[in-house]
Amino acid sequence: MSFSTGAGADRMRAEGMTMRTEAGLLSLVLLAVGTALAAPQAPRTTASRDPALIDVEAYQKLLAEYHGKPLLVTFWATWCEPCRDEYPMLNELAKQYAPQGLRVVGVSLDDDGDLILMRRFLARYKPVFPNYRKKAGDEKLFRQGVLPSW
């Protein structure tokens, strides 16, 4: 049995090393991709979750929780043009004054049929403050519970 020597053998050894290097790199890439796919996913942000439902009792509880503290509640809807105009400003206000204790809370007045529009609205504006969805039901009771003189 004889082994080749010379330029041809050197080239074959170099090609073999290159193939092993490429195979090793491919293995590392596949390992990295597999690890990334198996890693636990980060929790969803506030903007990507559907807001919790809020009714009169929950709203009154929210007000009681912040009694004596600065709290700005904005009632908004995707169909309300002034709401769409002011929402970015409220987001900036929340960022700017949170260190001083201001809490901003949003309540969507959209119907359940507008859930997709509400999701798009929140995805677009990326609020830094919590938002709720008004629970479907007695509109008059909700209005009176929120603002008795309404």
Q: Which amino acid is at 11?
A: R
Q: Are residues 31 and 93 in the same domain?
A: no
Compute the mean pLDDT over every residue in the chain, rounded to the nearest whole number.
80
pLDDT, residue 87, reads: 97
Host domain of residue 140 = 46-146
Q: Of 23, 18, 59, 30, which is closest to residue 150 (Cα–Cα)?
A: 59
pLDDT, residue 29, reads: 45
Per-residue model confidence as pLDDT tens digits over 38-90 = 444 433 444 457 999 999 999 999 999 999 999 999 999 999 999 999 999 99
Backbone torsions φ then ψ of 61, nearest 5 degrees: -65, -40
Q: Which residues of 30-66 are buried (b: 16+ CB within 10 A; e: fewer)?
A: eeeeeeeeeeeeeeeeebeeebeebbbeebeebeeee
CATH number of the domain that residue 76 is part of: 3.40.30.10
Per-residue model confidence as pLDDT tens digits over 89-107 = 999 999 999 999 999 999 9
Pairing mode of beta strands 103-108, 131-134: parallel
Of 107 and 23, more confident? 107
pLDDT, residue 41, reads: 42
Handedness of CA 98, 148, 60, 132 (dihedral sign): negative
Q: Are residues 13 and 50 in the same domain?
A: no
